[in-house]
Structure 1
């Protein structure tokens, strides 16, 4: 029984508990980590390991603790945890843009991989080649809000070895060199492009065109290149042609500079068609360029894949749903993102100290744009 004052100032009796007392009691009774451990039947350390994404245990144990956390509504005291851990529980992913489907998928997969290991991700973009580009991000990194950075380096920004000499955990993804200054996680673009060209040759093509070069074709320069998606992929195509004794005609190499969009792919393919240079296979250096190439070929009444085969790169979602589904090289984001996350967390925890180059092979996803 509680009392309350009426509008006239009289005191009347009311049944039931004071909601303010109930709230105070609820706050005092909020579940603790010790409560979680007791209900799950595990040690306090095991419960803590589940929260932090650390330690070794069976999947069944982890699932049981996670179920108790959910049922009790236990919430981590982030500030206290960060003081104890001496880190924030966040990592930064920096990309040039989220417009390209490949980079958008990289962000989503990185977030998922980090979440599974108990970390959150700040995603930021930077202006390529400007004073506020990747160099500025590296110089202004704030370790009080993030424990480390996964950096997708711009294809056009002039980054040096000194820029990558930093005092915080750093992992670089993509086709730019790191000079051994940071961990580097990337698919093998030379191998992937060689495989793509070989696939077209093995399925009947005799003369290839390439869509997506950054600059005018220079074979000797390409064979010495060590970085850049466009350059490494074009190098792989050249090397495969050389192995087979086939000449890659410079007139069949479509230059798009840094414009790897559907529109650019369509315009560049149309230019090759108008020039009447002979080709019966197209290697487009990403899927968006390939989709544009398909449009130009179909617009000109050229049958795909009977007259011209087309293969792209990256296996973006749209590639499977075109009028002619696109054969493509899967650039293995399913490997790149979790590998980069595992590497950065190893750095944060002090388990990894030596920079390494980690590479994987791409694979052909066969669809109807090839024979």
Structure 2
């Protein structure tokens, strides 16, 4: 059926097709519990056959909700934030919600609050705030105007948060390298103003110190391959000695590997490298990149679930939901002193 034909189908057409009242069709569309299973199945079959698309306006009148959710996001040009937003949108559709997205070019409290106010004009039922920077001020000023959750925030935020354990992920990378006999482990971080970058750096430092090892000087990039290349070059030029490298994301790891090779260092023969994120291309780097995987699908689904819980139960207590990342072993790391196949001194 063409889109214009589907748009012309009304609730009364569905009622006639399924042999029930239009009120019953409305109950099925709005997931009302007081509908017999056989009737519900018959109505759903008629909806599918006719290609009926319920009016969001009509549905909002019956549920007293707009069926709209607002998402305010910064950094969507980066892999992690973009994947998160896509997964929130997919999850929202499974719950019959539409998403209004506002992306910010710069992370500033005033800009985020302005975006929230703009979404409020559309009567959104709830908000997802993707705040990879510290968002305490934004959360404090939002108060209880509309149900919201904050993603990628620390537990110090006064509100419901959903996140992946960034420090724990960095610890997985460092523990792996220490287990391979490495002691001089360098870290290339993302921008210091990003909370994820800071948490990964803290995870590196804490894990090194827990093993009685001194963290090496911090070198910083901006998440791009070019910045990873430049940071690795600065590390090499500084004369700091290292046999292993943890990198704040896979893209910077790609640049760092290129810089090491340009300086005559082999990976993993001379330097073992671990990335972060497990982007789809990581398995096809040369060598395939050992990394830390974040489940952005799970993060998106759980964020949506937590927001819907806040919408349904406004008085419910805030909570902090944290998922653990997974370590992915590939070929860019090797036991210290172990020669690469076919490699000789």
Normalising by structure 1, report the TM-score: 0.78
Distance in structure 1 (CA, Å) of the matches to 2:17 and 2:315? 32
Q: Counterparts of 2:9 and 2:299 in 1: how far apart (Å)?
A: 45
Structure 1 unmatched ranges of 5 or more: 1-25, 217-226
1:193 alignment partner in structure 2:
170
Instruction: Evaluate the alpha carbon distance shift between residue 164 and residue 331 of structure 1 in structure 2; reply closer, same or farther with a 3 A threshold.
Output: farther
Is the alpha carbon distance of 1:267 and 1:292 closer, same or farther for their aligned partners in structure 2, counting shifts above 3 Å? Answer: same
Relative to structure 1, the CA distance from residue 325 to residue 191 in structure 2 (aligned partners, 3 Å threshold; closer, same or farther) is: same
In the alignment, is the contact (CA less than 8 A) between 2:132 and 2:195 conserved in 1? no
1:255 aligns with 2:236: no
- Deviation string 1:65-110 (CA, Å, 9 cap, x unpaired) is 6554221222202211111111111211111132101111111111
Aligned counterpart for 2:51 among listed residues 73, 91, 96? 73
The verdict on how the C-alpha distance between 1:98 and 1:27 changes in structure 2, with shifts beyond 3 A counting, is closer
Distance 1:302 1:178, change over 3 A: same
Contact 1:53–1:118 under 8 Å retained in 2: no
- SS at 1:185's partner residue? strand
Q: Residue 64 of structure 1: CA displacement?
A: 7.5
Q: Which moved more, 1:136-145 or 1:89-98?
A: 136-145
- Map of 1:343 onto structure 2: 306
2:294 paired residue number? 331
Alpha carbons of structure 1 residues 30 and 88: separation in structure 2 relative to 1, 3 Å: closer
RMSD value, Cα: 3.3
Q: Does residue 120 of structure 2 align to residue 142 of structure 1?
A: yes
User: Secondary structure of 1:159's match?
Assistant: helix
SS in structure 1 of the partner of residue 275 of structure 2: strand
1:282 aligns to what?
245
Report the CA distance between 1:60 and its aligned residue. Answer: 11
- Whether the 8 Å CA contact 1:178–1:184 is kept in 2: the answer is no
User: Pairwise mapping of residues 128-207 of structure 1 onto structure 2 (< 5 A)?
Assistant: 128-130=106-108, 133-142=111-120, 144-155=122-133, 159-176=137-154, 179-180=157-158, 182-207=159-184
Structure 1 pair 84–160 and aligned structure 2 pair: CA distance change class (3 A): closer
Q: Distance in 1 between matches of 2:10 and 2:73?
A: 44
Q: Whose radius of gyration is greater, 1 or 2?
A: 1
C-alpha distance in structure 1 between counterparts of 2:9 and 2:139, whole Å: 54
**Correspondence 1:232-251 to 2 at 5 A:** 232-250=199-217
Aligned to 1:111: 89
What does the per-residue CA deviation read over 1:234-279, in whole Å, with 9 as the maximum and x for residues that have no partner?
A: 11111111121111122xx2133xx221111110001111222111
Structure 2 residue runs of 5 or longer lacking an equivalent are: 1-6, 335-345
Structure 2 CA distance for partners of 1:175 and 1:196, relative to 1, 3 Å? farther
Alpha-carbon offset, residue 299 of structure 1: 2.0
Separation (CA, whole Å) in 2 of partners of 1:120 and 1:29: 20
TM-superposition CA deviations, 1:98-132 (whole Å, max 9, x none):
21011111111111111112112122101324475
Question: Could you tell me which residue of structure 2 aligns to residue 120 of structure 1?
Answer: 98
- What is the rounded CA distance, in whole Å, between the counterparts of 2:165 and 2:187 in structure 1? 18
Contact 1:110 1:341 in 2 (8 A): yes
Task: Give the match for residue 258 of structure 2.
Answer: 295
